[in-house]
Amino acid sequence: MLYLVGLGLSSEEDITVRGLKAVKKSCRVYLEHYTSILMAASQEELEKFYEKPVILADREMVETGCDEILRDADKQDVAFLVVGDPFGATTHTDLVLRAKQQGISVEVIHNASIMNAVGACGLQLYTFGQTVSMVFFTENWRPDSWYEKILENRKIGLHTLVLLDIKVKEQNYENMARGRLIYEPPRYMSISQCCEQLLEVDESKGTKAYTADTPCVAISRLGCPTQRMKSGTIKELSGYDAGEPLHSLVILGRQCHELELEYLLEFCDDRRKFKQDVLRDQEYFKPAPWVPPAEEEDE
């Protein structure tokens, strides 16, 4: 059996009872280590809690070397641990498909993830649209395919969850070209950098999916004891120090319910200004009032 086990958001203790039982009886335990990280638990702490070794599975192992993960999983139990929920990344869907192609039974054990825990900021989950990912810009690579998704969400009034990039076990171009296994230090995108990139792309596009005054809520270390929220405009949050990672951002949609707004006011510096910012932003993409068709005159 291959077990895909969600670990939750923060601590080694966030695993479910069923997930822990699966880990305890597995012969090998892998920890996916590139789409996210457990913010309050190290590999050593996981090994102590599980009382068995944990193998770190980087992007290369999961995407190109998954035969090692699936080795003998038709004869013995293997656990593949994922921060958040197992299906929070499409890579894990691919792993399940490969297992089934080899006749390996798969059991998925779900857990909390950013995709549902984001409701802690006060915005209702069913008012969210497409989720987008913001990657680190480089001098020669500034992808902006996410912009159209934000535009689509905003046109129909829905909030947008923006997941911020992390870089774990990444090589620079020179080391990659020379075949040297030298890796860059881990990097985690901040709220301020995300907002700066949002503003840069909006300026280049000119279609105004959002503006510098569009209200947002910054989410830091969701699920940790040090969890923190901050409401403000994109421009204001571009200068915000959100502290230690991990960070996420929600761009508000036009349909912000009064209860959602009341919750967000707890996280802002100037309640009156933020409320005005939200009310002004609701005019963007607001549908034109319905006008009844003109009656045809009798001839």
- Look at residue 292 and tell me whether its pLDDT is greater than 60: yes
Give the pLDDT of residue 295.
Answer: 75
Annotation-wise, does 247 bind a ligand?
yes
Which of these CATH numbers, 3.40.50.1370, 3.40.50.150, 3.40.1010.10, 3.30.930.10, describes 2-112? 3.40.1010.10
The backbone region for 248, taken as left when phi is positive above 0, alpha when psi lies in -120 to 50, beta otherwise, is beta
pLDDT band at 19 (very low <50, low <70, confident <90, very high): very high
Residue 35 near residue 89 (C-beta atoms within 8 A): yes
Domains 2-112 and 115-283 share a fold: no
What does the alpha-carbon distance between residue 14 and residue 31 come to, in Å, rounded to a whole number? Answer: 15
277 annotated binding-site participant: no
Q: Flag whether pLDDT at 299 surpasses 60.
A: no
Kindly tell me the sign of the dihedral angle through the C-alpha atoms of 134, 138, 139, 142: negative
In this prediction, residue 293 carries a pLDDT of 84
198 is in an annotated binding site: no
Position with higher pLDDT, 64 vs 17:
17
pTM over 0.75: yes
174-184 pLDDT, tens per residue? 655 656 555 56
Mean pLDDT (the chain) is 90
Mean pLDDT of 183-197: 89
Annotated binding-site residue? 104: no
113 is in an annotated binding site: yes
Could you give the CA distance from residue 118 to residue 83 in angstroms, rounded to a whole number? Answer: 15
Residue 9 is labelled as binding a ligand:
yes
Q: Note the CATH number of domain 115-283.
A: 3.30.950.10
55 vs 53: CA distance, rounded Å: 7
Q: Is 157 annotated as a binding residue?
A: no
According to the model, what pLDDT value does residue 61 have? 79
Domain ranges of the chain: 2-112, 115-283
Alpha-carbon span 256 to 51, nearest angstrom: 47
Q: Which two tokens stand for residue 216?
A: 């947002």
Tokens (6 digits) for 121: 């900021």
Alpha-carbon gap, residue 104 to 101, rounded angstroms: 7
Q: Are 130 and 152 in contact (CB under 8 A)?
A: yes
Query: Residue 204 annotated as binding?
Result: no
For residue 45, with 0-12 CB atoms within 10 Å meaning exposed, 13-18 middle and 19 or more buried, which class applies? middle
